[in-house]
Amino acid sequence: SAPGTPSASNITDTSVALSWTAATDDKGIKNYDVLRDGAKVATVTGTTYTNTGLTAGTDYSYTVQARDTADQTGPVSGARAVRTTGGGGGPGPGSAGKLGYFTEWGVYQRNYHVKNLVTSGSASKITHINYAFGNVSGGRCTIGDAYADYDKAYTADQAVDGVADTWDQPLRGNFNQLRKLKAQHPHIKVLWSFGGWTWSGGFGQAAANPAAFAQSCYDLVEDPRWADVFDGIDLDWEYPNACGLSCDTSGPAAFKNLMQAMRAKFGTNNLVTAAVTADASSGGKIDAADYGGAAQYLNWYNVMTYDFFGAWAAQGPTAPHSPLTSYPGIPQAGFNSAEAIAKFKAKGVPSAKLLLGIGFYGRGWTGVTQATPGGTATGPAPGTYEQGIEDYKVLKSSCPATGTIAGTAYAKCGSNWWSYDTPATVNSKMSWAKSQGLGGAFFWEFSGDTTNGELVGAINSGLN
């Protein structure tokens, strides 16, 4: 039989004492396996176990299963959720959230897979993953890329755990690899992110019936095939009651109403978050929607404090795309991280619900003669996948930083001019985030980092 659902006592920052009622078996019980977040952490002969070495302020789930004298395992007990004490109230384990976006399309041309989170060392240094993106279409949450999400077969050498997918297993693709990642790193929480720049056009229709939209999202995220993979949902609406790839006219209350419906549907045990604009200009995108009112329904906001400037302004002026602060000659007032964070705070968003955004890439111009920001250009610099943008891992060696301004780095090489964050500037941004009492930091996206994950390492060390 299954043992009784474990009870938890003596919960501290780093430990919990578990006890359960015995199982029964016709051959007799030999011992019990204790599972934490689905992975075995101990085998004990009695009906008690104290799990130590845990992380403060972190959610864990414990189950128990018995072994008989023939070493057969029985059914698993009910689950006991435990949250360790401490942790400083940030969104993640420990005192701060460290969240990275994983893109479903990265498995193609970029050849970046869930296993890379392990081989780079990044998996042990993050707390959350946003899986990007699900689509928003017809007033519903829908699948973004079915093949990458749950169909692509992984060979043993490509798989997180070294075990190949079989043709008949019910779940393959990124979702199954994320499941394997969580078994190895049970502290990691995964959110499914919907929308993004390309797929935000559907949010206006979704906002017309928030309850129906929330129900569709819940049904998809909690689909029995992959419900265990996801710990919540992230909505990346670019932008409520403002313009991104298309323009939204759903009104200033639509965002708050949508988030209220999401929280009502997903409940308190799931994470509900949103990626939001960092446009702090007067009358700009932060002013266009009720971000202050919506904050009560969300665990945190990912404030997109990057892409302020870029070669969509083909002639320049050259400017860093992710300035921490303003600086003399900045092309647009309010386009910097510090002012964005200050504006959200002024609208009533608690500091601990704000995560600072870091781009793992640079933006650049060509035809530039001036080394310092503010120069003229003739167009976007060439990039591997798209003009005007390049991964940090490439720029680090192809165009090393030649200066810093407003808390970020820039580089001039030949007639090309780039701005991007380095481990040093990331570290200083993390110090600033801590000084502001922020909930942590997030980044776009894993595949821009070096193979040894040096930018993730800088976020981790800077926030610790």
Catalytic residue set: 238
Per-residue three-class SS string for the chain? CCCCCCEEECCCCCCEEEECCCCCCCCCEEEEEEEECCEEEEEECCCEEEECCCCCCCEEEEEEEEEECCCCEEEECCCEEEECCCCCCCCCCCCCEEEEEEEHHHHCCCCCCHHHHHHCCCCCCCCEEEEEEEEEECCEEECCCHHHHHHCCCCCCCCCCCCCCCCCCCCCHHHHHHHHHHHHCCCCEEEEEEEHHHHHHHHHHHHCCHHHHHHHHHHHHCCCCCHHHCCEEEEECCCCCCECCCECCCCCCHHHHHHHHHHHHHCCCCEEEEEECCCCCCCCHHHHCCHHHHHHHCCEEEECCCCCCCCCCCCCCCCCCCCCCCCCCCCCCCCCHHHHHHHHHHCCCCHHHEEEEEECEEEEEECCCCCCCCCCCCEECCCCCECCEEEHHHHHHHCCCCEEECCEEEEEECCEEEEECCHHHHHHHHHHHHHCCCCEEEEECHHHCCCCCHHHHHHHHHHC
